[in-house]
Structure 1
């Protein structure tokens, strides 16, 4: 298995992975939006491959103060083998190399079963209230 940077032509395989892993698609996940984000922030976007098949992903971003983790996914056929941990460690190292001191992530309500996974990696629950405002709809 290898971990490499995401490339623009990975989009369709990533969508299939994210659907299999039951990740929610949201604004910004459309192909053209993803391509823009990849061009501007893709230095922290990674996939894991086995025999040229994408079986995992993690998107990380750094705003100069904090890092963020998005779309950590391992295909269900490959879960519980430490691959998610490897992807997270890869993303964390990439962010750390940029000077990132703190990494945040959000867990969607339907996916709270992954909370223990993140806690084993050293993440702790925060008492923040998530809010959003959609400023551009497609």
Structure 2
């Protein structure tokens, strides 16, 4: 039986997968366990790269096209925003404890983040400052809860 899908090559998705995992580790650690998302996004990026090369784009241009697919909707990071707030406003949270502290607080911030429509350019909007002010309040309310 003939299949209509393109067979998965091992090298292409794995290099995109490694890049995405490294990016998620830094910017969206809460997404690292979503293997289906990571695999799907990596395969889409690899397919975009292949299509770009077939269409005559240079390697660099095809990589840029694939990166746009790989990181679509991920440039703004709830985790990064919270981490930045904690780092700037709460020096009593030791640097080595900030990542875990922020991961614990992130679910408590969901309702605040959902009141905004943060896209890839959200950090340059006036609403971003309002969001960070609200996050400062949540962190302040929860410092004692997590032992700081």
Check whether TM > 0.5. Answer: no
TM-score by length of 2: 0.27
TM-score by length of 1: 0.28
Please state which structure has a larger fraction of its residues in strand.
1
